[in-house]
Amino acid sequence: MLMVVCDGVSDRPVKQFDSKTPLQAARKPAMDAIARNGISGIMDVIAPGVVPGSDTAHLALFGYNPYEVYTGRGPIEAAGASIPLRKGDVAFRCNFATSGDGAHVTDRRAGRISCGTADLARALSGMKIEDVEVIFKEGSEHRAVLVLRGPGLDHRVSEVDPHSEGEILQSKALSPSAEKTARLLNEFVRMSHETLSDHKVNKDREKQGLPMADIVLPRGAGSVGEIEPMPDRYGLKCAGVAGVTLVKGLCRIVGMDVIDVPGATGGLDTDYMAKAEAALRCLETHDLVFLNVKAPDIAGHDGDFRLKVRVIESVDMMLGRVLKDLHEEVVIALTADHSTPISVKDHSADPVPVTVSGADSRVDSVRKYDEISAAAGALGRIRGTDLLPIMMGMANRSAKFGA
């Protein structure tokens, strides 16, 4: 089985472009071939009218109810940064930011600091606050991950990050059992300012007239839920091919083998052919291969119709490469994790087109992969959590319930 997710490819018609969606405007012979040979439909990735995040959407596509397993973005970022989480840990995504006085933030991204963050992170990681250990790791640019590890933690705390310039907030417990976590979080922010203000990296930045990365603002608190790994849950050996860190983290959390593909950047410059070939190779050793391409989402966030069309055509060439060597027994699903309409420049709740084909799959009259054509297909309107079970059913990998 091969699940291809074109991140954010789903869209709305755009008046200036003949009232077409980017999928309708693009030349995409491979995508249309998949639609022509299988059954299509539309999919509410979470539920009708719910705008999916990339994280919750992927959890749903992997068959998990995000309302049950998702507590916050932190643990997914931690997994993406290869920090193995334990039960009871609370994880946060963080920004290095510029404060000055330790009470206000003047630049939430510390001038998009691009070097020295590893040194700054080392100065924070390993600290103890009360009986709790601080694990801290830098990410790309101003991004980082914080994990608090110790007894009696609870992720239900309010944010310290004001999400704009201004006063840094005091975290409060949103549940009585989170009092300790809120206290430690506030203390961590205070200590990060104390430690980073005098750090050599910041002294150098000051000399160069750059904003100091003198405070850390954690957000997106979450703890690891009871996620049964996909191999146990479905009896499937699973591999994930993705460029972007968040999606890689999600793949790790659900127990996929995450394949590192040189040149797969998660950006517009990704090496599409390398991803195609990695996916084909994985199919030889795995039952389910998941392939994510991030670029359509980036074009959607940019609100750039022509760019999105070009990206779709590049993704289509990647799919053409996949189809050329795909065993006819493989059940392939082509879909998106959410819509990122040109007109919205952000995720939207519009359902996404989905098409599934395989050896002896039913074939409907849909001949094109796009938002409107797919809606007339024999798959009807499904939910994100239905997709993997449907693929397994078509691949004869489902168990009978009853006799």
Which residues lie near a copy of itself (CB under 8 A)?
A: 12-15, 19, 21, 39, 41-42, 46-57, 66, 70, 73, 220, 341, 343-344, 346-350, 360-365, 371-372, 375-383, 386, 388-394, 396, 398-403
Q: Write the DSSP string, 137-202.
A: EE-STTEEEEEEESTT--S-B--S--SSSEEPPPP-BSSGGGHHHHHHHHHHHHHHHHHHHT-HHH
Helices 295-302, 305-324: crossing angle, 10 deg rounding = 170
Cβ 98 vs Cβ 215: under 8 Å = yes
Q: What tokens does 209 get? A: 């007239």
CB of 197 to a copy of itself, least distance (A): 29
Nearest to 222 by CA among 79, 326, 103, 71: 71
CB of 134 to a copy of itself, least distance (A): 23
- CA dihedral sign of residues 184, 67, 9, 288: positive
Q: Which is nearer to a copy of itself, 56 or 186 (CB)?
A: 56
CB of 296 to a copy of itself, least distance (A): 17
| Residue 366 Cα to chain centre, angstroms | 29
Q: Which is nearer to a copy of itself, 54 or 202 (CB)?
A: 54
Kindly give the pairing relationship between strand 288-293 and strand 238-241.
parallel
Cα(186)–Cα(167) distance, rounded to whole angstroms?
13
Q: Which is nearer to a copy of itself, 261 or 388 (CB)?
A: 388
Which DSSP symbol is given to 339?
B
CB of 209 to a copy of itself, least distance (A): 33
CB of 80 to a copy of itself, least distance (A): 12
Nearest to 216 by CA among 135, 133, 130, 132: 135
CB of 82 to a copy of itself, least distance (A): 19
Q: Which is nearer to a copy of itself, 85 or 379 (CB)?
A: 379
Q: Which is nearer to a copy of itself, 236 or 259 (CB)?
A: 236
Q: Which is nearer to a copy of itself, 38 or 116 (CB)?
A: 38
Torsion of CA 194, 195, 197, 201, to 10 degrees: 180
CB of 213 to a copy of itself, least distance (A): 22
Q: Which is nearer to a copy of itself, 6 or 280 (CB)?
A: 6
Q: Which is nearer to a copy of itself, 202 or 357 (CB)?
A: 357
Q: What tokens does 347 get? A: 């995720």
CB of 126 to a copy of itself, least distance (A): 28
The HSE-up count of residue 23 (CA atoms within 13 Å, CB side) is 29
In residues, how long is the chain?
403
Q: Which is nearer to a copy of itself, 125 or 361 (CB)?
A: 361
User: Residue 29: what residue type?
Assistant: P
Q: Which is nearer to a copy of itself, 174 or 372 (CB)?
A: 372
Cα(45)–Cα(62) distance, rounded to whole angstroms?
11
Cβ 293 vs Cβ 315: under 8 Å = yes
CB of 401 to a copy of itself, least distance (A): 5
Q: Which residue has the tokens 């992170």?
A: 121
CB of 104 to a copy of itself, least distance (A): 24
